[in-house]
Structure 1
Amino acid sequence: MKTIFTFLIVAVLAGAVSFISAKEEQYTYPFQNPSLTIEVRVNDLVSRLTLEEKVAQMLNSAPAIERLGIPSYDWWNEVLHGVARTPYKVTVYPQAIGMAATFDTTSLEVMADYSALEGRAIYNKAIAEGKSGQRYVGLTYWTPNINIFRDPRWGRGQETYGEDPFLTAMLGRAFVRGLQGDDPKYLKAAACAKHYAVHSGPEPERHVFNAVPSDYDLWDTYLPAFEELVVNAKVAGVMCAYNAFKGQPCCGSDQLMNDILRNQWKFTGYVTSDCWAIDDFFKNHKTHPDAASASADAVMHGTDIDCGTDAYKALVQAVKNGQITERMIDVSVKRLFTIRFRLGMFDPVAMVKYAQTPVSVLESAPHKAHSLKMAQQSMVLLKNEKNTLPLRKNLKKIAVVGPNADNAIAVLGNYNGTPSEIVTALEGIKRKVGPGTQVVYEQAITFTKDTLLAYTNIIPQLSFNGKPGVQAEYFNNKELTGQPVAVRQENNVDHNWQEGETVVGAMKAYNFSARYTTDFTANETGSITFEVEGDDGYRLLVDGKEQLNAWSRNRWGAKNFKLATEKGKKYRLVLEYYQAEGKASIQLRAGNFAKTNFKALARRVKDADAIIFVGGISPQLEGEEMPVDEPGFNGGDRTSILLPKVQTDLMNALKSTGKPVVFVMMTGSAIAIPWEAENVPAIVNAWYAGQSAGTAIADVLFGDHNPAGRLPVTFYRSDNDLPPFGDYSMENRTYRYFKGQPLYGFGHGLSYTTFAYDQLSVPANAQLHAPVPVSVRVTNTGKMDGEEVVQLYISQQVPGFKTPIRAMKGFQRISLKKGESKVVKFKLRPQDLTVIDKDGSAEYVPGTVTISVGGGQPDAQTKKARKTVEGVVALK
């Protein structure tokens, strides 16, 4: 049956513009008439649905309602730093924490705008191909993640905008505005603020954890960004978190959902559960006996979508049981259809400018250029002793060493799309230097070990039934059952798919399985190690005996098995694999382990003019609920923030050469590097900088871009600086409350030039409830053009009130040519100068406020270098 949506598209393409001005009687139902208000159309549509149809629309994968011409739709999509998980090639920007390091709301808004356009192109293409109900092609994105990165051990902190509520709120607002657009009627795309509201690890406990912050911390730290996005940015959606809050699951919280979100903030958009969070009500939190009671309670608390499970199907019985009324179901369903109507999903293409977005915007030149720009902007120069950087491009020899030097996975972060080209640090350096410069590369170590699997090309040793390669069988289910959809011969096992991408024939990468069978003929007597790496589950059998089993794993992971071999003997290898959702990948490789001799490596590179060590960590180690078996990591989180010892040991050996060592650190979180801070002359924090990471790194290393990124998180000295991970009190956490001395503070970042601040203007007195103007002159006093992030902090000491040590309340990224000066102006909002009482209320209290403006937080060093200036205003 042809849907009304398809009919409208075809009609417009045929030139039937009469739809725009058609009379109402031309439509079968009022909800089909685009001249009516969205409210009238939604009310009409919902009034025509059965209870069962309404409930089905409250699952993330909403089925079609064919009798009314309503197409199927999957709400689940991601756009954290570019459209994620789509089967199409897209532009990938730096990970969110890296974009936060730009301190540039304009750049972030442009990125969100470009990403929304690419998302529109994907959706339009999916509609044209009849795939409107496929996951990861929709227009409802579950981004941004505006949780506060309160503890550097949290693996998902890389998805956030850092530890500061103000920075997070301003960047989040820019993202929402860029993504949702400014059309008075239609949303370009629908953003969703997550995870509401007190959620930041530990990952292994997220389904059972009960966060109990004080009311002060709730309103001072955890809620401001959500309030900004809901009240001011008008974000379309909110995602409630897995964990409990004060004894109630977040998606069923009286205080968070009913009192604050719906009543105080007057939020009228939709709320989705985090995926599988409704099941947590009765399976993990044990606050509800079954799916019906959990679902009814969640809906009564304003949770409109059950993501990932079908617990909400029990709502039909819950209505019959009297646990919830159908009228309450109607409220949620109306919210959901309101969003879909606002996205223009039921209107002619000619009426919705975003519906005309062409596929040509995918990876367009402006988008790729902006990805590079943001990567450049994100680079933070932590240290540059004796002007080690920038390096000369005409050096005779450069050694590039380390586990991230040529790691294409690391630069993409998590929740990522797939671009057509990825530039690693090694590739970026090779492209940057002249033809006379020799670039040598050695991985040398893994992130945590000094022993590497040296891979061997085993393809010539693989055959099946007398044919070279591997027999591949593909099944359209996760259980390897029934007849395979396809059987074919492949050279080896080496696959990466985004969810929904074509695997073989008409089969897509979603809930499928595969069996790979081959005979491996040994070239020599001895041993060989087989390594399997996959996402989701896999197992390896050798001569019928299971040797590797990661069938229950559901994140990226690698295992290996050592096989004793006899020359000329054949060994039957059977690799079984399944993919459930998200990315899909499976690789079979082989080789032999070898321990790296650091002294020998140092001798090999001692004739280099410079040594660039590219290390840190990776989204292969930190992220969402991951099974990671490495020292210092657990379940996606970190058990220690110290840089893995093997990397420090290797840099120590490289330092012994006497040649300048540059440490390029990739990470999504703060790493403690006390030895490196003392002993390595130059350190660049490169985050996970997206598809053009290597180009941006090389631009900074060789001086084609003057770095101006700033830390959106505190880099502590050691694990001893951290309170218990599970403690949600903000006491001694983040720059706002940390009483110790950080290694590198929030807002820190160096430049190849210097800046000076003077002529600070603040009023001596100001009225409560009135804005406060502030201005300062900034001068580039160095010999190179550059950018500066001008940061404004306030400090208040009010008797009877707890207050932060200092708090950022303004920032601007500016560009200054050498010798140039600019006057930078701020206007503090009245709410920026309130204090929070113990009950969480914002109070306007007379007193003095110290205002500091500069290139970093105010301290003795920055004041001495004229990097900050201070003034005092009396509030009356």
Structure 2
Amino acid sequence: MKTGIATTTMASLPQTIILLLLLLGAFAQARDSFACDSKDAKTSSLPFCKVSMPIPNRVTDLLGRLTMQEKVRLLVNNAAAVPRLGIKGYEWWSEALHGVSNVGPGTKFGGAFPGATSFPQVITTAASFNATLWEAIGRVVSDEARAMYNGGAAGLTYWSPNVNIFRDPRWGRGQETPGEDPVLAGTYAASYVTGLQGNNGDRLKVAACCKHFTAYDLDNWNGVDRFHFNAKVSKQDIEDTFDVPFKMCVQDGNVASVMCSYNQVNGVPTCADPNLLKRTIRGQWKLNGYIVSDCDSVGVFYNTQHYTSTPEEAAADAIKAGLDLDCGPFLAQYTKNAVIRGLLKEADVNSALANTLTVQMRLGMFDGEPSAQPFGNLGPKDVCTPAHQELALEAARQGIVLLNNRGPSLPLSHLRHRTVAVIGPNSNATVTMIGNYAGVACAYTSPLQGIGNYAKTIHQMGCADVACNGDKLFSGAINAARQADATVLVMGLDQSIEAEFRDRTGLLLPGRQQELISKVAMASKGPTILVLMSGGPIDVSFAKNDPRIGAILWAGYPGQAGGAAIADVLYGTTNPEGKLPMTWYPQEYVSNLPMTDMAMRSSPNRNYPGRTYKFYKGPVVYPFGHGLSYTNFVHTIASAPKVVTVPLDGHRHSGNATISGKAIKVNHVRCNKLSVGLQVDVKNMGSKDGTHTMLVFSKPPAGHWAPQKQLVAFAKVHVPARSQRRVGINIHVCKFLSVVDRSGVRRIPTGVHNLHIGGVKHSLSLQPATLGVIKS
């Protein structure tokens, strides 16, 4: 077996030129100070430049020195310089969804920074169910972001991650999300944000941003686009589903920013809704940071949604609702006149600026020379390092999901399968593997190159592209399959099928891909393996039911090293451990289901099937959490409580509606340390070492507003062959065993909750401390 990883390097540059660029980058000119330059005696001695002063005092001092015209030019993403105070202009808009991205004007590749590590697309990384990995990726991305900032090639404010729920399988941006489960998405958000922002107290390595708040999950479907869409959402679904990842991002991840979305929610643009921004994000959740609009959102709700009569009213509504920064020019154009006309107070503008300026100071942007600050030593040498690229490979390995393995057909043997036909429009993919909101990768390993490290390959595209509109290339693919010891078909989607502003119309493979797969499988001399690249689920029932197709893998969009990871899984160097972060539905599921219907729960009266594994009761191609291994893991619960007492606070009693319909309001419970501890033994029954991804679900007591089941915990454990490991699981009762009633009130159902771990069930009874008056 060959051990080297074949790669196609960034922009296909010769290695000598890349080495020269990196050497030149080592001597790249350091970024000048954004503000408070020690060489400028006139401004560096001003109070807002004094690092020893508390940040709120520094912000107050700076605000007192700005004119109204200067203030409004700081309300937008391309914030203007204030030369008289020694402050340079700043571009707020940079992106780092799964690596430093060149989407947004804040980041520029080239020169000393020709590329950055491109990790798998978020949906793939989420399939690892590995919070430690998510945080590690965040740390690497922020290292590279700081290095690029120091070299003048990027900003420090990154509008990532996207933590919207993958509600409808057709959504073109579902690939950017951590999937359909709110707890999974929220845990991902908190972990990735922690990695990005660092653990430096109130100081920030970079400032992350959880987006797009809220109920945003439609781009352009059947004549309805995100700019015109009014999401009609119940209080129950807002609290139970759509807001959960954002709340966890703010409260558990301490994120520095939240972005409001384009759409309206129940008739009000999210960026003009004080209930969402001022009262929820900042009031209830205590955001320590700023709220930014999606790009041109304020302009959209004035020009497109016609929510206000004048642009000044739109500017005033946005700022008074709690918006601090406009991605777009709108607030710079109309805020001053809004103040002059009495629609807005200058104090409101000051409040918005205080939030953005505080974040800039927490980033060290007012502390003088970047080189003298923490992370000031990061530079070109810290981007695309071997360790970073190895982490991208490891992330891809952990995110690949083995959907089917008939026989078993996998893993392939490099002794028996010496010649492999590699077929399909994604067989030699490079840029396709990094999905959207990506940058310029350090290097690529395509599936063809990855498999080429294990076997001799015969390559045929089969289709010119994923649209697969003709069969001209079929015969070459069929002949290759007849000659080879094994056939690997790399099929699926790309950004021409699913992307921002491009929702899918259905769930089947595009064009004639299915026909190609079936014909190649029929002709193949050896085992036929189907590898799928996609962000969203695909109805591949035909392949699942075809006895000639030995195995099916889903690789998502696996990042720059995706081809190497796919090959490692195919040949068993890596034992697959990924689990699906979203349900794979049959095509019939979407046939009569409008994307515009936001209801999560099924409704038999109107023939509505419900959404996600929590509420949908119909047939699936593959369920949420599905994923096979090359070994077999068995669970045994070593210890778990059978009864847990839920303590009420000292001033509540049953007559005060604390206990209603056998469910206790969460805000009437002493939640602080209320958790359930389990010890689970995981035994590897097979002959291969493997890492087990353990998902814990709870089925609440029956009730008309409870989900069928919900994810309450997950963990990873490496178990060598024929050995056993014990895993500790802690379930926070108020957060994860609660459900939401029809009024949007979160409650803990009393009675028996059934915990499911693989094939094992444990019954846990939750009981209130008393049904009478509780004394404090």
TM over 0.5: yes
* 1:442 aligns to 2:473 (yes or no): no
Q: In structure 2, what is the Cα distance between the partners aligned to 1:842 and 1:246?
A: 21
- After superposition, the Cα gap between the structure-2 partners of 1:261 and 1:600, relative to the gap in structure 1 and judged at 3 Å, is closer
* 1:404 aligns to 2:426 (yes or no): yes
* 1:812 aligns to 2:715 (yes or no): yes
**1:280-337 alpha-carbon deviations (Å, 9 max, x no partner):** 1111111112321111100001111111333442101110000101110000111111
Shift in Å at residue 872 of structure 1? 3.2
Query: Aligned residue for 1:206?
Result: 226
**1:136-161 alpha-carbon deviations (Å, 9 max, x no partner):** x1110001101000011000010000
Amino acid at match of 2:218: G
Query: Aligned residue for 1:83?
Result: 100
Question: Where do 5+ consecutive residues of structure 2 fail to align?
Answer: 1-30, 103-107, 602-609, 647-670, 769-776
Query: Aligned residue for 1:639?
Result: 505
Q: In structure 2, what is the Cα distance between the partners aligned to 1:247 and 1:442?
A: 48
Shift in Å at residue 26 of structure 1? 9.7
Q: In structure 1, what is the Cα distance between the partners aligned to 2:35 and 2:636?
A: 65
Amino acid at match of 1:262: R
Query: Aligned residue for 2:452?
Result: 430
Match of 2:439 among 417, 420, 426: 417
Match of 1:362 among 359, 370, 383: 383
Shift in Å at residue 604 of structure 1? 4.5
Kept in 2, the 8 Å contact 1:202–1:726? The answer is no
**1:585-628 alpha-carbon deviations (Å, 9 max, x no partner):** xxxxxxxxxx5163564234312111111010012321112xxx
Q: In structure 2, what is the Cα distance between the partners aligned to 1:41 and 1:144?
A: 29
Q: In structure 1, what is the Cα distance between the partners aligned to 2:729 and 2:201?
A: 29
Shift in Å at residue 718 of structure 1? 1.9
Kept in 2, the 8 Å contact 1:758–1:776? The answer is yes
Matches within 5 A, 1:478-627: 595-596=471-472, 598-599=474-475, 601-625=477-501
SS at match of 1:741: coil
Query: Aligned residue for 1:372?
Result: 393
Kept in 2, the 8 Å contact 1:755–1:780? The answer is yes
Q: In structure 1, what is the Cα distance between the partners aligned to 2:87 and 2:538?
A: 50
Q: In structure 2, what is the Cα distance between the partners aligned to 1:358 and 1:597?
A: 47
Q: In structure 2, what is the Cα distance between the partners aligned to 1:10 and 1:405?
A: 55
Query: Aligned residue for 1:685?
Result: 554
Kept in 2, the 8 Å contact 1:756–1:779? The answer is yes
- After superposition, the Cα gap between the structure-2 partners of 1:327 and 1:7, relative to the gap in structure 1 and judged at 3 Å, is closer
Query: Aligned residue for 2:530?
Result: 663
- After superposition, the Cα gap between the structure-2 partners of 1:398 and 1:232, relative to the gap in structure 1 and judged at 3 Å, is closer
* 1:305 aligns to 2:325 (yes or no): yes
Match of 1:277 among 297, 301, 304: 297
Query: Aligned residue for 2:765?
Result: 873
SS at match of 1:844: strand
Q: Which stretch of the first structure deviates more once superposed, 58-67 or 345-354?
A: 345-354
- After superposition, the Cα gap between the structure-2 partners of 1:819 and 1:869, relative to the gap in structure 1 and judged at 3 Å, is farther
Kept in 1, the 8 Å contact 2:752–2:763? The answer is no
Kept in 2, the 8 Å contact 1:674–1:717? The answer is yes
Q: In structure 2, what is the Cα distance between the partners aligned to 1:147 and 1:604?
A: 43
SS at match of 1:217: helix
Kept in 2, the 8 Å contact 1:642–1:719? The answer is no
Q: Which stretch of the first structure deviates more once superposed, 159-168 or 637-646?
A: 637-646
* 1:794 aligns to 2:698 (yes or no): yes
Query: Aligned residue for 1:93?
Result: 119
Match of 1:123 among 145, 149, 152: 149
Match of 2:598 among 728, 731, 737: 728
- After superposition, the Cα gap between the structure-2 partners of 1:301 and 1:171, relative to the gap in structure 1 and judged at 3 Å, is same
Q: In structure 2, what is the Cα distance between the partners aligned to 1:418 and 1:27?
A: 37
* 1:707 aligns to 2:599 (yes or no): no
Q: In structure 2, what is the Cα distance between the partners aligned to 1:392 and 1:10?
A: 64
Kept in 2, the 8 Å contact 1:851–1:873? The answer is no
Q: In structure 2, what is the Cα distance between the partners aligned to 1:10 and 1:48?
A: 19
SS at match of 1:234: coil
* 1:834 aligns to 2:738 (yes or no): yes
Shift in Å at residue 258 of structure 1? 2.6
* 1:773 aligns to 2:677 (yes or no): yes
Shift in Å at residue 96 of structure 1? 0.5
Match of 2:60 among 14, 32, 43: 43
Match of 1:232 among 252, 259, 263: 252
Shift in Å at residue 775 of structure 1? 1.9
SS at match of 1:789: strand
Query: Aligned residue for 1:346?
Result: 366
Kept in 2, the 8 Å contact 1:384–1:683? The answer is yes
Match of 2:235 among 215, 218, 223: 215
Query: Aligned residue for 1:174?
Result: 191
**1:211-253 alpha-carbon deviations (Å, 9 max, x no partner):** 1111111100011111111122211000000000111101011
Match of 1:393 among 404, 411, 414: 414
Amino acid at match of 1:379: I
Kept in 2, the 8 Å contact 1:798–1:847? The answer is no
Shift in Å at residue 407 of structure 1? 2.0
Query: Aligned residue for 2:621?
Result: 743
Question: Where do 5+ consecutive residues of structure 1 fail to align?
Answer: 13-18, 20-24, 132-136, 452-594, 626-635, 855-862
- After superposition, the Cα gap between the structure-2 partners of 1:805 and 1:66, relative to the gap in structure 1 and judged at 3 Å, is same
- Count of residues in correspondence between the two structures: 686
Q: In structure 2, what is the Cα distance between the partners aligned to 1:766 and 1:225?
A: 27
Query: Aligned residue for 2:105?
Result: none
Q: In structure 2, what is the Cα distance between the partners aligned to 1:7 and 1:343?
A: 12
**1:528-572 alpha-carbon deviations (Å, 9 max, x no partner):** xxxxxxxxxxxxxxxxxxxxxxxxxxxxxxxxxxxxxxxxxxxxx
Kept in 2, the 8 Å contact 1:186–1:352? The answer is no
Shift in Å at residue 763 of structure 1? 1.1
Query: Aligned residue for 2:78?
Result: 61
| Fraction of identical pairs, as percent | 34
Q: In structure 2, what is the Cα distance between the partners aligned to 1:444 and 1:643?
A: 12
Q: In structure 2, what is the Cα distance between the partners aligned to 1:808 and 1:218?
A: 18
SS at match of 2:494: coil
Q: In structure 2, what is the Cα distance between the partners aligned to 1:241 and 1:719?
A: 30
Amino acid at match of 1:662: I
Amino acid at match of 1:794: S
Q: In structure 2, what is the Cα distance between the partners aligned to 1:644 and 1:835?
A: 39
Query: Aligned residue for 2:662?
Result: none
Match of 1:384 among 405, 413, 432: 405
Cα root mean square deviation, aligned: 2.1
Q: In structure 1, what is the Cα distance between the partners aligned to 2:491 and 2:44?
A: 62
Kept in 1, the 8 Å contact 2:532–2:554? The answer is yes
SS at match of 2:453: helix
Amino acid at match of 1:125: G
* 1:849 aligns to 2:753 (yes or no): yes
Query: Aligned residue for 1:673?
Result: 540
**1:638-673 alpha-carbon deviations (Å, 9 max, x no partner):** 000112251110111112214321101000011111
Taking structure 2 as the reference length, the TM-score comes to: 0.86
Kept in 2, the 8 Å contact 1:414–1:619? The answer is yes
Q: In structure 1, what is the Cα distance between the partners aligned to 2:34 and 2:700?
A: 60
Q: In structure 2, what is the Cα distance between the partners aligned to 1:444 and 1:287?
A: 47
- After superposition, the Cα gap between the structure-2 partners of 1:155 and 1:328, relative to the gap in structure 1 and judged at 3 Å, is same
Q: Which stretch of the first structure deviates more once superposed, 265-274 or 37-46?
A: 265-274
Q: In structure 2, what is the Cα distance between the partners aligned to 1:846 and 1:387?
A: 44
Shift in Å at residue 438 of structure 1? 4.2
Shift in Å at residue 4 of structure 1? 8.9
Kept in 2, the 8 Å contact 1:4–1:69? The answer is no
Query: Aligned residue for 2:178?
Result: 161
Q: In structure 2, what is the Cα distance between the partners aligned to 1:710 and 1:7?
A: 47
Kept in 1, the 8 Å contact 2:462–2:476? The answer is no
- After superposition, the Cα gap between the structure-2 partners of 1:765 and 1:125, relative to the gap in structure 1 and judged at 3 Å, is same
